[in-house]
Amino acid sequence: MLSLVKESDVREPIKFLRAREIVHFQRFGEALRMVTEDMDKKNFYAFNPSSCIK
């Protein structure tokens, strides 16, 4: 989209929104990782592969 637009009044908001979307994606990934780690700690017997003793 940016390659099609030449006007800076249009390009700058698009660049800002793209950068903001990237940051939101990264923060969502971090939050998902933190929640997953916390849930793994709480579900020791149900989902922890190290609990399977052979």
Quick one: pLDDT at residue 40? 77
- CA–CA separation, 28 and 45 (whole Å): 27
Dist CA 18 CA 47 (whole Å): 37
Does the pTM of the predicted model rise above 0.95? no
Dig out the tokens for 54 from the structure: 């052979």
The parts of the chain modelled with pLDDT lower than 50 are none
Asked if residue 20 lies in contact with residue 33, where contact means CB atoms within 8 angstroms, the answer is: no
- The answer to whether 42 and 48 are in contact (CB under 8 A) is no
CA distance 5 to 12: 10
